[in-house]
Every structure is written in structure tokens, then in C-alpha cells.
Amino acid sequence: MNHIIFKLSLPLLALTLLGCSGGDEHGHEHGDGHEHGDGHEHGDGHEHGDGHEHSAVEEAGHDHGHDHGQATPAIAAPESAYAGHSGSIELSREAQERIGLQFVEVAERELRPSIPAYGTVRARSDGEAVIVAPLCGRIVTTGEAVPRIGQEVEARQILVSMAPKLSDSADQATLDLDVQRSALALERAVAERERLDGLLAEGAVAEKRVVAARSAEATAKAELAAASRRLRGHRRFAQATGAKGGVKIRAPLTGTITEVLVTPGAYVEEGQELFRVTDLKRLWVELQVAESNLGRLGKPRGAWFEVEGFDAPIEVGADSLVAVGGVLDQRTRTVPVVFDTPNEERHLRVGMTAPGNVIVGDPVTAVAVPHRAVLREEGRAVVMVMVGGESFERRVVELGIRDTGLVEIESGLEAGERVVTTGAYAVKLAASKSQLPAHGHAH
């Protein structure tokens, strides 16, 4: 049985060796669309090398209408669907569909001159408040009544209550005790002064002792009056705050609790920060303009900025301009330009970075493409131009004005050409792959 298999294998081995040898003799090239250079004519009249370019997958699967008489594993399609021809980039339609390739026609668009700036989202100066403790005391609000981050509050809404500590020993019981002690001290002082007055009338004591007793009586009266005032003040304070020993802490504006810096039962000092309330319905975007661009700034006509995670840039008009800084920051060498922006859906957050551009001139008409069509390659701007259904060309371009989602092409493209937007990087990879030998060696 083994002998029979050996006899059958010899013809197959011979055919395989003959196929490889024949490919080398005829100058067969595997990276250029399977071009036959041996003058062989096919029965269907189709000639290779007539200028029509095929991808490696198309060429490997093409039916010429005749049988070559042998299998050709040496010229099977490479694993990749990419191949290059005379500087062009080939990408099969199947590969284009797989990566979701999209392109746009180059056209003239209206672009607004602008200068770049680095931005930050921040609260309005009148749209944020830090709430501090008005006096020393303990937070007595507990449970769900304690505000939480993200909670919406109204102006004058009670946030927490505090039990005040007016002095080191100024609670209700201590104040009552102070009044009683002062009253007893006054009684003793009065009795001593009356005793000394009687002795002085009899000439039994010196007058200076009577004067000292009268002074002690006056002091006791003053101390009793002071203790009584403290007690009355404490009681009035408790009544005014609505609870015995309680001080109500209220929100100064309508907004959202963005910071909670205290816990129930905690003792706080006077002036200690408790909460931060921010009005998130409208925010400011502060764009920092570099010193080198201040000569072009003039009166800003609006701005647009991008926030990571957002599908499109956010644009504001000239009527949203709040202020232009008048002092150059000595550390960053920039001047702030502040714009107001609505935020009804609360998508923007205070502290977000927002790189953008400040619009500084009237619109101009120029050739432009979506900025996502531009790739960076060794410091140069590159686009992928579609020159045929499956053919692309790498093109170095010079960039100009940048507007919302668009960038001017000063040179390298003409109106009417088509550039890849979605999938441009995949086409760039195809260009790299097309420069590699198909089988790892040259024939």
C-alpha cells in the first residue's frame, strides 16, 4: 500500500517543482497584479499588463476561461487584502466595507480665521458659592437630611443645622449657672457692705473698708447683669434660629451641591468650609491666548472649543463674550478670553479641559476638508485621496485656517477630488503593507 502511494506522489511533486521553476523563468511578479510577461495569450482575449490594476485577492480569484493544467500554490493571494501598484495604494471593496471606509469630496467652504487657545470650563463668578460655618459648633443634622453631591438646592434652602458654642462654656446650663452664681455673689456683697456701714457709724472700722465693700457690691451687680444678658441673648438666638441651640445653614443661591466637606456630628470652627454650591445651567469657558497671538486678537467674534467625549465642537458667538483679560500671566505668558455658554443638559463639568479657537476675522472662501481626514506623518500633514474604486494615493498637503470640524488645504488638493475621512489610517497601513515583498523573497 505504501508503495502505491509513493508512485502516485511522484507526478504531483514533479508538477509542483515545474510550476515554481516556470514562474521564475517567466519573470512572474507577485506584487503587481499577477502580470504575465511570457507572451502567452489567453483564450478569452484578456491581456494582463494593459494598465488595469487588480488587487492580489482579485487576481488570485480571476477566472480566465481556460485550465492552466496545474495548481499554483506559489501565487496564492497573500493574507492581507492590500497591495500597491506603481506608487498607488490598492484596497479591495471587501476590505473597505470591513473597515467602514468613508470619503468626502473636496470643495470650497467658508472658513473663519481664528487663533488657537487652551481652555478650561469653570463656574461663573456669580454662579458659585462656598458656604462656611458662621460660628463654632457641632453639626446636628443627621441621616438623609444631610445634603449630598449632585443634589439640586434652591436659594435660602436649609442645608444643615448647627448647635453653636458661643464660648468655651456657653451652653444653656452653664449660662444659667453663671446667673445664679452672680446673684449669690451680689447678695454676699450687699450683706458685707451693710455690715460695714453699721460698724462705720459706730466708729468701729476704717472708712476705707466700707469703700472696698461698696466697690465689691458694684462689681457683683455688673457681673450679674452681664450673665443675665448672655442668657437672654442665647435664648433669643435659639428662638430666631427655630430650634433650641440650633443655627440654620442656608444655600445662598440656586444650584447644585458640588462639594460636601462636613459630616453629621462633626465639630466645626468658625469660617470652616462646609459646602460648595454651583449653578451649572450656565458656565464659563476660559480660553488662554498665547502672547504671540495677541496681535491678531482684536475684538473676538466668537469661539469654538472641543471637549473630549463630545461628538462635535461647541460654538459660542460674539454676544457670549464675557471679558478679555488685561494682564499677561507672567508664568504662562497668556491672556484669558472668557465666554459664557449654556449648559441646560449638564453635559459640561467644571474643570473640564476645552482646547479651542477664538474667531478673529470675517469668513473667507477656501478649499477645505474635514480635519479627521488629515493624518500626521513625520511632522507632515497627509491625506488619502481616492483615485479609483479600489485605488488610493497618499498626498502631502499644506494646512491653513482651521474652523469647526474643517481645515483649509493651501496646497496638495483640488476641489472635486475625494479624500478618505473614516478609515484613513487603515489606508495608510495599506500603503505600508504594499511596500513589503509578498512572499518574503524576490523572484
CATH number at residue 195: 2.40.50.100
Distance CA 339, CA 322 (A): 5
Look at residue 443 and tell me if it is in a domain: no
Q: Has residue 395 been placed in a domain? A: no
Residue where a domain terminates, one of 329, 361, 393: 361
Residue 85 grid coordinates: 501598484
Q: What is the CA radius of gyration of the chain?
A: 44
Same domain, residue pair 232 and 316: no
**173 and 245 fall within a common domain:** yes
Same domain, 257 and 287: no
Structural domains of the chain, count: 2
77 domain-assigned: no
Question: Which of 320, 342, 361 is where one domain is finished?
Answer: 361
Q: Is residue 247 part of a domain?
A: yes
CATH number of the domain that residue 306 is part of: 2.40.30.170
For residue 233, the enclosing domain spans 128-278
- For residue 21, what pLDDT is reported? 38
Say yes or no: 266 and 347 in one domain: no
3-state secondary structure of 350: coil
Residue where one domain finishes, among candidates 252, 278, 304: 278
Res 239: pLDDT: 65
Q: φ and ψ at 108, to 5 degrees?
A: -80, 135
pLDDT of residue 166: 58
- 132 with 273, same domain: the answer is yes
Predicted pLDDT at 378: 86
Question: Looking at the structure, do residues 119 and 178 belong to the same domain, yes or no?
Answer: no
- Per-residue pLDDT at 87: 55
Chain centroid offset of residue 155 CA: 29
Does 325 lie in the same domain as 266?
no
Query: Does residue 200 sit in the same domain as residue 171?
Result: yes
Residues 325, 197 share a domain: no
CB 356 within 8 A of CB 400: no
Q: What is the pLDDT of residue 47?
A: 37
Q: Are residues 238 and 289 in the same domain?
A: no
Rounded to whole angstroms, how far apart are CA atoms 120 and 307? 10
In a domain, 407, yes or no: no
Give the dihedral of Cα atoms 18, 21, 22, 24; nearest 10 deg: 160
Domain presence at residue 217: yes
Is residue 41 a part of any domain in this protein? Answer: no
- Whole-model pTM: value is 0.58
Does 122 lie in the same domain as 172?
A: no
The three grid cell numbers given for residue 354, joined into one nine-digit string: 476645552
Q: Are residues 263 and 350 in the same domain?
A: no
In a domain, residue 423? The reply is no
Q: What is the mean pLDDT of each run of 10 residues along the chain (443 residues)?
A: 38 35 38 39 38 34 37 32 52 86 91 94 95 89 86 94 69 84 94 91 89 94 92 71 67 95 90 95 96 93 92 92 95 96 93 94 92 89 90 91 90 92 85 54 43
